[in-house]
Amino acid sequence: MDEEFSDLLGHARSGDTGAATELVRRYEPELRRYVRVRLTDSRLRRLVDSVDICQSLLGRFFVGFFAGKYESRSPEQLIALVLRIGKNEV
């Protein structure tokens, strides 16, 4: 496991809002790209934006993360986990 990533997750889990903000700053752009590519319905795009969907996904992730429900060993696993949360919601 990447030590920097592990430390960042540990700080975020302990309630460090700066660490949680850093997680969002680092990984939200990739999540938004993923969502934008798949948000193909023009009627739906008028109602919601990729930012809205990403915020919802990250919110759901953090609720489970703080409850100890989710664990990630790498940035790739984190992104895959958040995307799986979204797929399960759909």
pLDDT by residue (tens digit) across 30-80?
888 888 888 888 887 788 888 888 888 899 999 999 998 988 889 999 989
What's the confidence (pLDDT) of residue 65? 92
What is the domain range of residue 51?
A: 3-89
pLDDT at residue 90 is higher than 70: no
| CATH at residue 17 | 1.10.1740
In the predicted structure, residue 81 carries a pLDDT above the cut 60: yes
Q: What is the largest CA-CA distance in the chain?
A: 43
pLDDT of 86 > 90? The answer is: no
Asked if 75 and 27 count as a contact pair (C-beta separation under 8 A), the reply is yes
The model's pTM is: 0.81
Q: How many of the other CB atoms lie within 10 Å of CB of 72?
A: 19
Number of domains making up the chain: 1
